[in-house]
């Protein structure tokens, strides 16, 4: 695997956006205003859904917080579910893009790149997940009541898991597969987010990731690793 830049195909992330207009060079001032309005709704919804959860966030709350009208909302979204889906896709693309932005991605050696990734995640984790994880929020609150949200969650989580498997493969051992490592990494992140919220201590993320990384140092010290 040459690097995370190839491993995180951001262009493949589905976006229900206005990209075609921009790519064709015909994004007018009016369309630009529409884009700003849509993005404002999505950004506002993301903040509210991270803070209050999907179920507790009402369309009226988003409209009021964004300072827009109901007409503006229904111009872009026909329901809370459609807004939730757009918000989820935006959140996923943003977090994956920021995970891909580390200098480790240019590392040629797969093992060094894997270690570099874990170090980079430890540095950016507080900023990436200080408000929680929208995927986890949706999984807990919306997946059971919305099949389309459930399907999107499965698709995006499976994509992320596959990227982690590819990236962490050099750290696998005969007893712990790359798939196991990817799962453990996700459990580490999501579990730490929950504990950080319960105890109001954002340090859980960095401490948990440090413990996760220390396991590989011990394995390599004993001559393990792939």
* Distance of alpha carbon 188 from alpha carbon 181, whole angstroms: 10
Query: Are 188 and 121 spatial neighbours (Cβ–Cβ below 8 Å)?
Result: no
Calculate helix-pair angle for 59-66, 29-52, nearest 10 degrees. Answer: 120
From CA 88, how far away is CA 94, in angstroms rounded? 10
- Three-class SS state of 173: coil
Q: Which domains does the chain have, with CATH numbers?
A: 4-221 (1.10.357.10)
- Give the confidence band of 9 by pLDDT, cuts at 50, 70, 90: very low
Q: For 169-200, what is each residue's pLDDT tens digit? A: 999 999 999 999 999 999 999 999 999 989 98
Q: What is the pLDDT of residue 225?
A: 54
Residue 179, class by beta-carbon neighbours within 10 Å (0-12 exposed, 13-18 middle, 19+ buried)? middle
- pLDDT tier, 220 (very low <50, low <70, confident <90, very high otherwise): low
Mean predicted confidence (pLDDT) in 106-129:
94
**Which pTM was predicted?**
0.80
């Amino acid at each position: 695997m040459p690097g995370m830049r190839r491993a995180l195909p951001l262009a493949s992330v589905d976006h229900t956006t206005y990209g075609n207009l921009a790519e064709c060079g015909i994004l007018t001032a009016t369309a630009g205003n529409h884009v700003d309005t849509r993005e404002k709704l999505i950004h506002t919804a993301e903040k509210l859904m991270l803070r209050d959860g999907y179920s507790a966030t009402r369309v009226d709350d988003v409209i009021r917080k964004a300072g827009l009208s109901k007409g503006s909302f229904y111009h872009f979204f026909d329901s809370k579910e459609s807004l939730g889906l757009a918000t989820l896709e935006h959140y996923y693309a943003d977090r994956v893009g920021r995970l891909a932005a580390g200098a480790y991605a240019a590392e040629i050696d797969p093992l060094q790149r894997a270690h570099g990734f874990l170090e980079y995640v430890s540095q950016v984790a507080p900023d990436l997940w200080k408000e929680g994880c929208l995927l986890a929020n949706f999984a807990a609150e919306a997946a059971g009541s919305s099949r389309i949200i459930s399907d999107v969650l499965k698709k995006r989580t499976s994509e992320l898991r596959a990227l982690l498997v590819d990236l962490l493969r050099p750290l696998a051992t005969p007893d712990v597969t790359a798939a196991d490592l990817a799962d453990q990494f996700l459990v580490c992140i999501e579990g730490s987010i929950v504990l950080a919220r319960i105890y109001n201590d954002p340090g859980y993320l960095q401490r948990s990731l440090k413990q996760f990384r220390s396991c590989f140092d011990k394995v390599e010290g004993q001559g393990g690793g792939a």
